[in-house]
Amino acid sequence: MHVQTQRLETKIGTIQNKRSTDASNELEELLSTATQVFGDYVRRSTDPQTQVVEPSSVEELLAKLDLSFSSQGVGQQGIWQDINTICNTATNTWSEKFLYKLYSSPTPIGVISESLLGLLNNNVHVFRSSPIGAILEATISNKLAEMCNFPKDTASGLTFPGGSYSNMHALMVARNQRFPEIKTQGLWGLAKSGTRP
């Protein structure tokens, strides 16, 4: 029995090492291609002659991509073909002519930061889930408070990824300030008491 357990553990270890090596090799290969594809895209996108958006109809865009979701997959060649198509038809946020109300142009370090987030795939909802992420979040929150001239020792709050989420949260905060009992009784409790929001 002991020998069988050792053989099984050895086999599992070999499979895990192979899987780890395969993932590492695949990632290196993909990143090598990505560096070239993304670099070419940014070079084209930052050319002053490049449009911010190439006008296209829905039908024209659909004709450029194979969205059949084949059970056989498309392989790396198909993936990079689709990525090139997506890059060439997307809004060119790298252009000096790009200016939009909700977001700005990307930066090279921003792309690296987003890549790091994807690589780690951590959540920061609790410390144990991502200890370094929790520390970074607290440090950045303190820095934001300092930049807004809030007192560091009492400042607290939340940061949100965009305007819609921020506005929704602001409405909830306003509602809870006006009707604090809603947190314990809910909307039904307000209705029963005759209070109208």
- Write the pLDDT tens digit of every residue in 130-177: 999 999 988 888 898 999 999 878 887 777 877 888 999 999 999 999
Condensed to tens digits (0 to 9), the pLDDT of residues 47-101 reads 999 999 988 999 999 999 888 888 888 888 999 999 999 999 999 999 999 988 7
pLDDT score of 155: 84
Condensed to tens digits (0 to 9), the pLDDT of residues 1-51 reads 555 666 655 655 555 566 667 889 999 999 999 999 999 999 999 999 999
pTM score of the predicted model: 0.68
Tokens of 102: 């909700």
